[in-house]
Amino acid sequence: MSKAVVNVKNVRKTFGKKNENQFQALDGVSFDIQAGEFVGIMGPSGAGKTTLLNVISTLDKPTGGTIEIAGTDITTMKQGQLADFRSEQLGFIFQDFNLLENLTIYENIALPLSLQGVSSKKIKPSVLKVAEKLGIQAILDKYPVTVSGGQKQRAAAARALVHEPAIILADEPTGALDSKNAKDLMKAMVHLNTNHDVSIMLVTHDPLSASYCERILFIQDGSLYKEIRRAGSRNEFHQEILHVLAEFASPHEME
């Protein structure tokens, strides 16, 4: 049996009805994410990154192909099953944190477990454990408005992790952060990935954030364009990423 936590096979997504203006946002995409891997998704605007994230996160259905997460084919599941699957197996981190302002940081982190009906007695050790992993024990009683952007985003990461999902899906998580906080968040994610074996799929425009990944999949026009794996230092990987992105900008590569 393969150890893939995500297996995407020949996934297509067409927007628009038949006989109308159809748009093929994903055109036969295939890849695996192994358990414990930290994979970045990059590509120009309109390439299909968000569409790909949405079909993997069960928020949208692909038009064709299969997607297995932790061994389960999510493309054949019914709506009700999908909601359960999502809340148990997936963790989400968004650009704008999505913390609830009238809940404390503790209550925000506890939310995925509260929503699953886990008792507050069982919730507490899980929240404390994950808060320690992310170094935010000191702010648990505070409200989001009173903490920094970087702390908010680490709280959001803790919330994504508290129910021990099969994979964390992050859509531009550093997009609203300054460079110092962006680096801190990426370091925290690397720490979770290397020390706690958390599998992460990160969609990002930012080459610096992407340089913290182990492997990057570049997509263009709904297809996989290239895949690179980090071999040397993070700096070297950053340069390599910049080179691939420059290929997108060069017209003769776009044919």
Ligand X SMILES: Nc1ncnc2c1ncn2[C@@H]1O[C@H](COP(=O)(O)OP(=O)(O)O)[C@@H](O)[C@H]1O
Q: Which residues bind ligand X (CB under 6 A)?
A: 15, 23, 25, 43, 45-51
Q: Which is nearer to ligand X, 110 or 201 (CB)?
A: 201
Exposed / middle / buried, residue 241 (Cβ in 10 Å: 0-12, 13-18, 19+): buried
CB of 50 vs Mg ion, minimal distance in Å = 3
CB of 23 to ligand X, least distance (A): 5
Q: Is 179 exposed, middle or buried (0-12, 13-18, 19+ CB in 10 A)?
A: exposed
Q: How far is the CB of 30 from ligand X (least distance, A)?
A: 17
Measured from the CB atom, is 49 or 230 closer to Mg ion?
49
Query: Could you give the 3-state DSSP secondary structure of residue 116?
Result: coil
How many Cβ atoms from other residues are within 10 Å of residue 146's Cβ?
A: 11
Q: Which is nearer to ligand X, 63 or 72 (CB)?
A: 63
Considering the rule CB under 5 A, would residue 50 count as an interface residue with Mg ion? Answer: yes
Separation of alpha carbons 165 and 201, rounded Å: 12
Minimum distance between the CB of residue 219 and ligand X, rounded to whole angstroms?
7
Tell me whether residue 40 or residue 43 sits nearer to ligand X (CB atom). Answer: 43
Q: What contacts 129, CB < 8 A, 6 or more positions away?
A: none
Interface region with Mg ion, contact rule CB under 5 A, candidates 46-54, 70-78, 115-123, 144-152: 46-54
Residue linked to tokens 């999902």: 165
Binding residues for Mg ion, per CB under 5 A?
49-50
